[in-house]
Protein backbone atom coordinates (compact mmCIF):
# COMPACT_ATOMS: atom_id res chain seq x y z
CA UNK A 1 0.00 0.00 0.00
CA UNK A 2 1.07 3.56 -0.66
CA UNK A 3 0.15 6.19 1.95
CA UNK A 4 -0.19 9.78 0.71
CA UNK A 5 -1.00 12.40 3.35
CA UNK A 6 -3.66 14.92 2.32
CA UNK A 7 -3.56 18.64 3.04
CA UNK A 8 -5.37 17.80 6.32
CA UNK A 9 -2.82 16.47 8.81
CA UNK A 10 -3.41 12.82 9.66
CA UNK A 11 -5.78 12.06 6.76
CA UNK A 12 -4.33 9.78 4.09
CA UNK A 13 -5.17 8.55 0.62
CA UNK A 14 -4.21 4.88 0.44
CA UNK A 15 -3.46 3.36 -2.93
CA UNK A 16 -3.28 -0.40 -3.30
CA UNK A 17 -0.17 -2.11 -4.64
CA UNK A 18 -1.81 -4.43 -7.14
CA UNK A 19 -0.21 -7.68 -8.25
CA UNK A 20 -1.79 -8.25 -11.65
CA UNK A 21 -1.88 -11.23 -13.99
CA UNK A 22 -4.27 -12.73 -16.54
CA UNK A 23 -6.81 -13.51 -13.78
CA UNK A 24 -7.04 -9.93 -12.51
CA UNK A 25 -5.21 -8.62 -9.46
CA UNK A 26 -4.51 -9.24 -5.80
CA UNK A 27 -3.84 -6.47 -3.26
CA UNK A 28 -3.56 -6.09 0.47
CA UNK A 29 -6.16 -3.56 1.65
CA UNK A 30 -5.14 -3.44 5.30
CA UNK A 31 -2.03 -4.24 7.32
CA UNK A 32 -1.87 -3.36 11.01
CA UNK A 33 1.92 -2.95 10.86
CA UNK A 34 1.81 -0.54 7.91
CA UNK A 35 -0.90 1.54 9.57
CA UNK A 36 1.13 1.73 12.79
CA UNK A 37 4.27 2.72 10.82
CA UNK A 38 2.34 5.73 9.44
CA UNK A 39 0.94 6.70 12.86
CA UNK A 40 -2.61 5.64 11.94
CA UNK A 41 -5.05 3.99 14.29
CA UNK A 42 -5.01 0.28 13.33
CA UNK A 43 -8.02 -0.67 15.49
CA UNK A 44 -10.88 -1.75 13.24
CA UNK A 45 -13.85 -2.72 15.41
CA UNK A 46 -16.80 -2.40 13.06
CA UNK A 47 -17.40 -2.64 9.29
CA UNK A 48 -20.28 -0.93 7.49
CA UNK A 49 -21.73 -1.06 3.98
CA UNK A 50 -23.86 1.68 2.49
CA UNK A 51 -25.74 1.04 -0.76
CA UNK A 52 -27.13 4.03 -2.66
CA UNK A 53 -29.61 3.68 -5.52
CA UNK A 54 -29.61 7.25 -6.83
CA UNK A 55 -26.87 9.39 -8.36
CA UNK A 56 -26.44 12.56 -6.30
CA UNK A 57 -27.34 10.92 -2.97
CA UNK A 58 -25.62 12.63 -0.06
CA UNK A 59 -24.74 10.99 3.26
CA UNK A 60 -23.07 13.01 5.98
CA UNK A 61 -21.36 14.89 7.43
CA UNK A 62 -21.08 12.54 10.43
CA UNK A 63 -18.75 12.18 13.41
CA UNK A 64 -18.72 10.93 16.99
CA UNK A 65 -17.47 12.92 19.98
CA UNK A 66 -14.90 11.74 22.52
CA UNK A 67 -14.51 9.31 24.12
CA UNK A 68 -16.20 7.53 21.19
CA UNK A 69 -14.49 9.40 18.33
CA UNK A 70 -13.74 7.09 15.44
CA UNK A 71 -11.19 6.77 12.69
CA UNK A 72 -12.56 5.47 9.38
CA UNK A 73 -11.10 3.63 6.41
CA UNK A 74 -13.42 4.29 3.45
CA UNK A 75 -13.54 2.54 0.08
CA UNK A 76 -16.05 2.64 -2.77
CA UNK A 77 -16.61 -0.97 -3.90
CA UNK A 78 -19.20 -0.28 -6.63
CA UNK A 79 -19.77 2.93 -8.55
CA UNK A 80 -18.12 6.21 -7.55
CA UNK A 81 -18.34 8.82 -4.80
CA UNK A 82 -17.09 12.26 -3.98
CA UNK A 83 -15.80 11.72 -0.44
CA UNK A 84 -15.43 14.75 1.84
CA UNK A 85 -13.83 15.19 5.25
CA UNK A 86 -13.69 18.20 7.57
CA UNK A 87 -11.02 18.69 10.25
CA UNK A 88 -12.87 19.46 13.50
CA UNK A 89 -9.84 19.36 15.80
CA UNK A 90 -9.61 22.85 17.36
CA UNK A 91 -5.85 22.49 17.98
CA UNK A 92 -5.14 21.56 14.35
CA UNK A 93 -3.62 24.07 11.88
CA UNK A 94 -6.24 22.85 9.36
CA UNK A 95 -9.22 23.27 11.73
CA UNK A 96 -12.49 23.74 9.78
CA UNK A 97 -10.81 22.99 6.43
CA UNK A 98 -12.24 20.31 4.17
CA UNK A 99 -10.78 17.89 1.65
CA UNK A 100 -12.51 16.17 -1.27
CA UNK A 101 -11.47 13.07 -3.21
CA UNK A 102 -13.15 10.80 -5.73
CA UNK A 103 -13.19 7.15 -4.69
CA UNK A 104 -14.42 4.54 -7.14
CA UNK A 105 -14.50 0.86 -7.92
CA UNK A 106 -12.06 1.65 -10.74
CA UNK A 107 -9.36 3.62 -8.88
CA UNK A 108 -9.30 1.24 -5.86
CA UNK A 109 -8.22 4.07 -3.56
CA UNK A 110 -9.17 4.35 0.09
CA UNK A 111 -9.35 7.32 2.43
CA UNK A 112 -8.15 7.13 6.02
CA UNK A 113 -10.16 9.57 8.14
CA UNK A 114 -8.66 10.21 11.61
CA UNK A 115 -10.56 10.78 14.82
CA UNK A 116 -11.87 14.33 15.10
CA UNK A 117 -13.03 14.61 11.49
CA UNK A 118 -16.54 14.79 10.03
CA UNK A 119 -17.08 12.50 7.05
CA UNK A 120 -19.62 12.35 4.26
CA UNK A 121 -19.98 11.62 0.58
CA UNK A 122 -22.08 12.13 -2.52
CA UNK A 123 -22.70 9.39 -5.08
CA UNK A 124 -21.55 10.19 -8.61
CA UNK A 125 -23.39 7.32 -10.32
CA UNK A 126 -26.42 5.11 -9.72
CA UNK A 127 -26.05 1.88 -7.71
CA UNK A 128 -23.08 2.90 -5.58
CA UNK A 129 -21.76 0.90 -2.64
CA UNK A 130 -19.40 2.18 0.04
CA UNK A 131 -17.55 -0.06 2.50
CA UNK A 132 -15.95 1.45 5.55
CA UNK A 133 -14.24 0.20 8.66
CA UNK A 134 -14.30 2.16 11.90
CA UNK A 135 -12.16 2.16 15.04
CA UNK A 136 -14.98 2.63 17.55
CA UNK A 137 -18.39 1.11 18.04
CA UNK A 138 -21.41 3.21 17.14
CA UNK A 139 -22.48 5.21 20.19
CA UNK A 140 -25.79 7.05 19.57
CA UNK A 141 -25.29 9.60 22.36
CA UNK A 142 -21.94 10.65 20.82
CA UNK A 143 -23.24 10.98 17.27
CA UNK A 144 -23.08 14.44 15.71
CA UNK A 145 -23.34 15.93 12.26
CA UNK A 146 -22.79 18.95 10.08
CA UNK A 147 -25.32 19.90 7.44
CA UNK A 148 -24.05 19.34 3.89
CA UNK A 149 -24.58 23.00 2.96
CA UNK A 150 -23.45 24.64 6.20
CA UNK A 151 -22.16 28.17 5.39
CA UNK A 152 -19.25 27.74 7.84
CA UNK A 153 -17.63 25.28 5.40
CA UNK A 154 -19.05 25.97 1.89
CA UNK A 155 -18.27 22.50 0.58
CA UNK A 156 -18.29 22.38 -3.21
CA UNK A 157 -20.33 19.27 -3.98
CA UNK A 158 -19.96 18.20 -7.62
CA UNK A 159 -23.65 17.45 -8.34
CA UNK A 160 -27.04 18.74 -7.28
CA UNK A 161 -28.26 16.87 -4.18
CA UNK A 162 -30.95 14.37 -5.25
CA UNK A 163 -31.46 12.53 -1.94
CA UNK A 164 -30.49 13.30 1.65
CA UNK A 165 -32.02 12.05 4.91
CA UNK A 166 -34.18 14.38 7.01
CA UNK A 167 -31.68 13.93 9.84
CA UNK A 168 -28.69 14.96 7.68
CA UNK A 169 -30.60 17.96 6.28
CA UNK A 170 -31.67 19.23 9.70
CA UNK A 171 -28.37 19.70 11.52
CA UNK A 172 -28.06 23.28 12.88
CA UNK A 173 -25.45 25.71 11.58
CA UNK A 174 -21.98 24.84 12.92
CA UNK A 175 -21.52 28.18 14.66
CA UNK A 176 -24.78 27.80 16.58
CA UNK A 177 -24.11 24.16 17.51
CA UNK A 178 -20.94 24.87 19.52
Catalytic residue among 68, 121, 132, 171: 132
For residue 16, give the CATH number of its domain. 2.60.120.10
Per-residue CA distances from 161 to 27, 73, 132, 155 (Å): 34, 24, 22, 12
Catalytic status, residue 68: no
* Count of domains for the chain: 1
Domain assignment of residue 176, yes or no: no
Domain assignment of residue 175, yes or no: no
8 Å CB contact between 148 and 155: yes
Catalytic status, residue 132: yes
**Residue 178: band (very low, low, confident or very high) from pLDDT cuts 50, 70, 90:** low
**Residue 175: band (very low, low, confident or very high) from pLDDT cuts 50, 70, 90:** confident
Domain assignment of residue 150, yes or no: yes
The residue segments making up the domain with residue 34 are: 2-170
pLDDT tens for residues 55-94? 999 999 999 999 999 999 999 999 999 999 999 999 999 9
Domain assignment of residue 177, yes or no: no
What stretches of the chain adopt beta strand conformation (E)? 2-5, 12-15, 19-21, 24-26, 46-52, 58-64, 72-78, 80-87, 98-104, 109-113, 117-123, 128-134, 143-145
Catalytic residue among 38, 62, 138, 171: 62
Amino acid sequence: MKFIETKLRGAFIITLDRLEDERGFFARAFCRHEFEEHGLNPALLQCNISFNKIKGTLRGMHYQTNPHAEAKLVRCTAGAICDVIIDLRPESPTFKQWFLIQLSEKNHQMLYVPEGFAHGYQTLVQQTEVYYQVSAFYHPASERGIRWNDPAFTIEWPLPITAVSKKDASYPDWETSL
